[in-house]
Chains A and B, each alone.
Chain A
Amino acid sequence: MPSWNALDRVFDRAFGSTHNPLRQLGTLAFLAFWLLAISGIWLYVELDTSAGGAYESIAALSRATGSPGWLMRSLHRHAADAFVVFTGLHLLRELLLGRWRNFRRFSWLTGTALLPLMAVSAIGGFWLNWDRLGQFSAIATAEWLDALPLLAHPLARNFIGAAAVGDRLFSLFVFVHLGVPLLLVFGLWFHIQRITRAAVFPPRMLALGTLGTLLLLCIVAPVQGQGPADLARAPQVLSLDWLLLFLHPLMYATSAGFTWALTLGSFAALLSLPMWPLRAPAEPVAVVDPDNCNGCRRCFADCPYAAVTMVPHPNGRSGRQLAVVDADLCASCGICAGSCPSSTPFRSGDGLVTGIDMPQSPIGTLRRQLRDGLAASTAARPVVVFSCAQGADAARSAAPDTLVLPLICTGQLPPSFVEYALRDGAAGVVVASCRDGGCAFRLGARWTAERLAGQREPHLRADVAREQVLHVEADAGEDAVLCSQVEAMRERLKQIKAARAID
């Protein structure tokens, strides 16, 4: 989605890709949830959980300007607003980037299922305060639920007089606002079940920046109660939290039936997205060759979606293991092939068969393309560009002295291919990956950077001339960035050649 990618780049310029909030929306939503939990526990200690005492217990916090309780009261509300904003943007981002089908279906469905839990948790929180806004929200919710033919007696009758709202009803409010968030925790755990190394906390600087912003907002614009609930009087003008309570005005502006149709229709549409199109082609998944798998567990460690498990090797050797791919979980990214020590192109033999490979883009084919491309090049020492099919289009960098070899994900590239290309006649090698945080397969760019830097196995050997190797991070749409970096590499290689000639 070009427009979202353009927005990403605006934020990249300010934050850098690693700390770009748009690339960290999921972890930021988690941060908001942790803040909600901490401030919520604080408020629960302070709250008088009775219909008669609830308002005064919270109002006392609002009056104690500067106290921890005063801060927690505002933080709880603003963290809830942030939670909704981050989650909404997270959903929008995944939607615009088309990340809902095949191996992402589970995450999409479990994430969508969290939305009603979020809504119930958020709306239920206003009732506990039992001010005029809470009164409005509770009655609006009851009237909305009454539109469904579920109950014999209208729920809204619970609010027709002050005598109707007793401590028992308030216990129900407490149950809703504590019980549903607990379900939310359980749902969040499900949501991240199928990804490895799931981040539930944003990078430290981003977390501090977000927390600081929210705290500043709490100080500048503290949340105030709107007077105690009075069921003998209807609220006329309310300072409404539109981010959390927008359904209520929508219902009164239209009808309960329309609001139900809109919310249920939207929810059903989101849930049904992974089923369309019905015949979506699935990419071939990784295949393990037992004869070439030595059970080293690197693919198991590097797979971003926990699709690889280790089982005892069928050859029966004690302690020897074999990788097994779960086709339902496999993202077909090829990161496992890049991690396999058997993927080294220095192995002898015409055919290169590795331990775990992608049928649509085997490592053996990559070696043959590299060899043939270098042999066929009109340049004496061409530049080899290993590019990511999900990132910037390397076609703009094509030139007679440049050999472009596309990969499913740059994580598919065994670092030994860089050394192999240099030894086989390449003047330099450019490895083009997506930006950190922008990898379509989550960890491909990170693993590539760490492997090239010698921080992760399999690593690029230390004696490979680093000045002849360039790692470029460029997302889809950043073709010009990649092109200029390749051009810069050409210039650098000319300087190296000239310097060596002087020597």
Chain B
Amino acid sequence: MADISAASVPTPPPATRRGARAWAGQVALYGLFALAIGVFSRWPPYHHLAPDMALIKLSLVHAGKPVGDCRKQTPEELARLPPNMRAPTTCPRERSPVTVELDIDGASAARVVAPPSGLSHDGASALYQRLPVKAGERLIQVRLRDDTRSASPSYSAERRVTLAPAQVLVIDFDAEKGGITLQ
């Protein structure tokens, strides 16, 4: 009787039995995987800031002045109010937006208008802006206006600074320190 073995091709044989080419293929593909992860987890280097650049961060939180003056209420207005709310004067709740202008070496570098926060626009204004600038000696001039009733700035600061490469200069506002701060 002729020898006829059972016919079956259920699955490709495991790699261990498929010879050197399969092993080489596995090594190559595992290597490719490792290479992809090893390389792209660190390369190419990312140049976030050029070597001759510094960074100015213009960031402050400041509550603007009310948009209008307080005024005396008329007797009719007071009469319409509940007795416990009859204050003689009334003030507008909404605050002025805070406008900050930054000049570097006499040229305008930024002008930011930060609206008051809150649904009734009665909260503090906040702003944050990053400005990469050339390192070196710079004349920094900052003006802050927080009152729509006045055209002139409420606070201003001027300082000549020497910025090292990669240095971060933060322009902030601190009422206890007299207003605009550079640090």
Contact = CB atoms under 8 A, between A and B. Distances in A.
Interface stretch (A59-67, A385-393, A495-503): A495-503
A233 interface: yes
Interface in B156-183: 165-168, 170, 172, 183
Interface in B53-67: 54-55, 57, 59, 61
Contacts of B150: none
B6 A473 contact: no
B5 interface: yes
B128 A78 contact: no
B49 interface: yes
A136 interface: yes
B170 A242 contact: no
Nearest to B127: A154
Given A156-B59, A237-B45, A239-B45, A468 B14 contact: no
A232 B45 contact: no
A240 B46 contact: yes
Contacts of A161: 170, 183
Most chain B CB neighbours (cut-off 10 Å) among A15, A136, A235, A252: A15
Given A16-B11, A16-B14, A471-B10, A237 B48 contact: yes
Contact of B8 (A21, A81, A152, A466): A466
Contacts of A11: 29
A90 interface: no
Nearest to A452: B10
Contact of A157 (B12, B29, B61): B61
B128 to A, nearest CB: 4
A308 interface: no
A473 B168 contact: no
A17 B9 contact: no
Interface stretch (A184-192, A213-221, A396-404): A213-221
A217 B38 contact: yes
B123 A152 contact: yes
A154 B126 CA distance: 7
Given A14-B29, A160-B57, A238-B48, A470 B4 contact: no
A77 interface: yes
Contact of B166 (A153, A220, A221, A234): A234
By size class, the interface of chain A is: 35 or more
A18 interface: yes
A235 B7 contact: no
A236 B59 contact: no
A453 interface: yes
Given A498-B2, A503-B1, A236 B11 contact: no
A56 interface: no
Given A146-B128, A499-B1, A470 B9 contact: yes
Contacts of A467: 4-7
B7 A492 contact: yes
Given A470-B9, A503-B1, A136 B48 contact: yes
A205 B18 CA distance: 15
B42 interface: yes
Contacts of A157: 59, 61, 126, 128
Nearest to A450: B10
A77 B41 contact: yes
B42 A221 contact: yes
A503 B22 CA distance: 42
Given A18-B11, A217-B37, A466-B8, A231 B49 contact: no
Secondary structure of the A contact surface, majority rule: helix
B41 A213 contact: no
Interface string B16-33: 001001100110111101
A17 B12 contact: yes
B107 interface: no
Contacts of A243: 37, 40-41
A81 B9 contact: no
A114 B33 CA distance: 23
B37 to A, nearest CB: 5
B36 interface: yes
Interface string A201-239: 000010001101110110011010000000111111111
Interface string A67-106: 0000000000110011001000000000000000000000
B118 A237 contact: no
Contacts of A479: none
A231 B183 CA distance: 12
B72 interface: no
Contacts of B15: 14-16, 19, 205
B13 interface: yes
Most buried by A among B25, B55, B124: B25
Contacts of A209: 26, 30
A324 to B, nearest CB: 33
A200 B5 CA distance: 38
Given A213-B30, A503-B1, A234 B168 contact: yes
Interface of B: 1-2, 4-15, 18, 21-22, 25-26, 28-31, 33-34, 36-38, 40-51, 54-55, 57, 59, 61, 117-118, 123-124, 126-128, 130, 165-168, 170, 172, 183
5 contacts: A153-B117, A210-B33, A213-B31, A234-B54, A485-B9
Given A237-B47, A471-B10, 10 more contacts: A21-B29, A85-B36, A143-B128, A154-B127, A232-B168, A235-B48, A237-B46, A242-B41, A470-B9, A473-B12
Interface of A: 11-19, 21, 77-78, 81-82, 85, 136, 143, 146, 152-154, 156-157, 160-161, 205, 209-210, 212-214, 216-217, 220-221, 223, 231-244, 249, 252, 428, 435-436, 449, 452-453, 466-473, 485, 489, 492, 495-496, 498-499, 502-503
